[in-house]
């Protein structure tokens, strides 16, 4: 220990962390005395820096006594060391990424587009690998950030998307001591034991924010208890601050390119706030349960768990335990003879209803949050869809919801005048030409059938980019339209993209997906049984007449050389569903 000022005492323990970075824990004390040396030894022993090391210092005999004398200090010190290790590791990877893209910029001067694209692809692959390893090593919120980035297709380079998609939000389970500490602080152990007969100490799952335990209540109900990790919010706050600093730095270093992911980071931070508030999650779950329970079409197709408010708080949530098959386990679903096309239809209808009719959207439809329940004797079919994890929702602005309903109807019918008017009213007048590509894979002028992909000539691509103000696709174009899209549209695009992946995995097709969205868009504009019954047949008639007219009187586009919506959006540098 050293004295650095007459009235200041600082304890420093240094060591080498697993990643090869120096880690420092700095602790200030209020008075001089033997406590200083005791705490220094306690720090070193706790982190393993002294015992059996080159320092030749051992403090095994005093460790337990010191840990008891300073309760909570050991954990606090450990958190500081781990935080600083994560920061050091992050800054090291960040410096590698900056160097990689600065070198790319220098090497790209004077190269043609093909050569530049090849260099960029290599740089993106290398950078994506570095980010993937960083997320895995740091864990926690870094995993969630990586997953968030992977869901923003075409807002970041495709190499990052493909690489980060493998991230799984798994974490080592916390000890029951921590679980009971959170329960005691939020519910009280006495009340907990008065309501709960038994709890499985081995969690069913453990992620970066919480872990879930199966439990049995005194009334016989089987429930799932979701317990937030102890002291999590402190770690989240420090990590988010670090992310903001890195984004600010990269925006300065690449100022000429105009690159910034502030919009994505702001969305991520907002999502985290929602997910950390379990009372809000419980409220979301109840509202979702109410919406589907009052929907005559979907009430028997969609299951939402019941909340037990007596065991629910800011950091704990108790709900019905639902037994089923995760929707991503397609092989198991096939073994159980589940009707996959019917299941895909239920998924599409459920999320279409939330987006176009309810205006209250589950924005985290990852496969792990959707369970399939077999209902062999149900009058409505063989399967039900269970919606889990209600931490991330978006309540759509009513004006946006209505506008989005009109937007979809105009895109499906290829009504150029309505499309222009709706995009203008929604605050994105310059994007009316690109919105159909983002959502339905075709423009308002193409003659390809709904669900087919279209091909554009190089001349057409150039004209479209000129209309949109893009002179040449480059690193700066990634996410270039982010600030022009309404906030609600960002979440809708992200959700629809995740649903597209699910639909594809279940054997669904784009045409059915688009028509399901159109059906609920019509219903959202005419939310009565009579209104929908009178408008939907008329809409279908106009749709089929439009496709027939295109097939008879205009030149057909060969779909065998088509491009997907993802590729199209990469041409113009925007986001896709």
Closest CA to 494 of 567, 575, 403: 575
Q: Is the dihedral of CA 486, 490, 492, 497 positive or negative?
A: positive
**DSSP helix/strand/coil, 294:** coil
Catalytic (active site) residue 364: yes
Show the CA angle centred on residue 398, arms to residues 290 and 370, nearest 5°: 40
The token pair that represents 134 in the structure block: 């960083």
Catalytic residue among 79, 178, 295, 364: 364
CA dist., res. 320 & res. 111, Å (int): 60
CA dist., res. 311 & res. 416, Å (int): 53
Q: Is the dihedral of CA 460, 464, 467, 470 positive or negative?
A: negative
Classify residue 173 by its DSSP letter.
Answer: P
Q: Which residues pair with 374 in a beta bridge?
A: 383
Plot region of 52 (φ>0 → left; ψ -120 to 50 → alpha; else → beta):
left
Q: Which distant-in-sequence residues (6+ apart) come within 8 Å of 567 by Cβ?
A: none
CA dist., res. 557 & res. 157, Å (int): 29
The token pair that represents 169 in the structure block: 């939000």
Show the CA angle centred on residue 126, arms to residues 123 and 131, nearest 5°: 120
The total of other beta-carbon atoms located within 10 Å of residue 199's CB is 19
CA dist., res. 307 & res. 168, Å (int): 27
CA dist., res. 494 & res. 364, Å (int): 9
Spatial contact of 119 and 126, defined as CB atoms under 8 Å apart: no
Catalytic residues: 364
């Amino acid at each position: 220990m050293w004295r650095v000022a007459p009235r200041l005492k600082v304890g420093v323990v240094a060591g080498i962390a697993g990643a090869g970075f120096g880690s420092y824990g700095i602790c200030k004390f209020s008075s001089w005395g033997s406590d200083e040396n005791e705490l220094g030894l306690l720090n070193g022993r706790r982190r393993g820096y002294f015992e059996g090391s080159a320092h030749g210092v051992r403090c095994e005999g005093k460790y337990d006594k010191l840990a008891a004398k300073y309760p909570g200090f050991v954990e606090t010190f450990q958190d500081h060391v781990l935080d600083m290790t994560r920061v050091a590791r992050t800054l090291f990877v960040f410096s590698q990424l900056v160097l990689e893209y600065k070198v790319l910029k220098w090497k790209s001067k004077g190269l043609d587009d093909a050569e530049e694209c090849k260099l960029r692809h290599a740089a993106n692959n290398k950078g994506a690998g570095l980010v993937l390893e960083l997320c895995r090593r740091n864990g926690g919120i870094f995993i969630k950030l990586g997953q968030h980035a992977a869901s923003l297709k075409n807002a970041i380079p495709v190499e990052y998307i493909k690489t980060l998609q493998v991230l799984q939000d798994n974490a080592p389970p916390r000890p029951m001591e921590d679980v009971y500490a959170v329960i005691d602080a939020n519910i009280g152990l006495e009340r907990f034991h008065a309501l709960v007969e038994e709890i499985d100490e081995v969690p069913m799952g453990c992620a970066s924010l919480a872990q879930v335990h199966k439990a049995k209540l005194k009334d016989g109900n089987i429930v799932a208890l979701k317990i937030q990790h102890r002291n999590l919010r402190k770690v989240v706050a420090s990590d988010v601050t670090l992310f903001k600093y890195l984004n600010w730095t990269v925006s300065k270093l690449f100022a000429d390119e105009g690159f910034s992911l502030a919009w994505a980071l702001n969305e991520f931070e907002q999502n985290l706030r929602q997910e950390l508030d379990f009372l809000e999650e419980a409220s979301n779950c109840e509202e979702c349960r109410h919406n589907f329970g009052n929907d005559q079409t979907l009430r028997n197709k969609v299951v939402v768990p019941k909340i037990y408010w007596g065991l629910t708080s800011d950091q704990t949530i108790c709900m019905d335990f639902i037994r089923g098959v995760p929707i991503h386990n397609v092989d198991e679903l096939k073994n159980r003879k589940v009707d996959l096309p019917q299941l895909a239809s239920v998924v599409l209808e459920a999320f279409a209803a939330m987006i176009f009719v309810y205006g209250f959207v589950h924005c985290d439809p990852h496969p792990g949050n959707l369970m399939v329940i077999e209902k062999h004797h149900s009058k409505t079919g063989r399967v039900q869809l269970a919606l889990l994890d209600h931490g991330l929702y978006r309540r759509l602005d009513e004006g946006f919801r209505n506008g989005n309903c009109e937007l979809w109807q105009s895109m499906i019918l290829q009504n150029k005048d309505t499309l222009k008017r709706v995009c203008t009213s929604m605050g994105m007048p310059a994007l009316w030409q690109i919105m159909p590509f983002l959502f339905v894979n075709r423009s308002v002028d193409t003659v390809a059938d709904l669900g087919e992909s279209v091909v554009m000539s190089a001349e057409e691509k150039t004209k479209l980019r000129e209309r949109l103000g893009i002179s040449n696709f480059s690193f700066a174009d990634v996410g270039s339209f982010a600030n022009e899209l309404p906030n609600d549209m960002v979440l809708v695009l992200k959700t629809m993209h995740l649903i597209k992946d699910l639909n594809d995995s279940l054997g669904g097709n784009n045409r059915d997906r688009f028509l399901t969205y159109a059906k609920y868009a019509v219903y959202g504009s005419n939310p009565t049984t009579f209104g929908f019954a009178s408008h939907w047949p008329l809409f279908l008639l106009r749709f089929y007449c439009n496709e027939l007219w295109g097939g008879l009187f205009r030149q057909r586009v060969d779909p065998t050389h088509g491009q997907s919506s993802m590729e199209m959006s990469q041409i113009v540098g925007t986001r896709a569903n």
